Structure 1
């Protein structure tokens, strides 16, 4: 599984770290890449529902615009 997640609200490297840590907590995700310039994250791993991904990012204080 590979998903592209567009995120609103990231403005600095601290934000990138917060999103990366939140996504890394999800069981089954093996790789996380967060791009501040593009306001997106790419996750790879086992099949994870979009709802779980959205919930974790929102718990960290950011908004999910779209998951592809």
Structure 2
């Protein structure tokens, strides 16, 4: 398992937290996702042989948020 932190812009409330965590944990290979609303970030534990950071980024952006490098 690998852990990475993605910077996510546009999250403002608990609904945003649920949307981002939910969409990530639905991806095959994502073990855990934990949003830090104050830091505008999400820590993701994932199997890099199953899912890529690019796929996670697209999933978050599909929810209406911006992922910054």
TM-score (norm 1): 0.91
2: CA distance, partners of 1:45 / 1:62: 20
1:18 matched residue in structure 2: 19
Q: Secondary structure of 2:38's partner? A: coil
Is there any run of 5+ residues in structure 2 with no aligned partner, and where? none
Q: Which of 39, 53, 63 pairs up with 1:60?
A: 63
- Structure 1 residues 1-68: aligned runs within 5 Å: 1-47=2-48, 48-66=51-69
- Equivalenced residue count is 66
Deviation, structure 1 residue 45: 2.1
SS in 2 for 1:3: strand
Q: Which runs of 5+ in 1 are unaligned?
A: none
**Cα-Cα RMSD:** 0.8
Q: Secondary structure at the match of 2:43?
A: strand
The residue matched to 1:38 in structure 2 has which SS?
Answer: coil
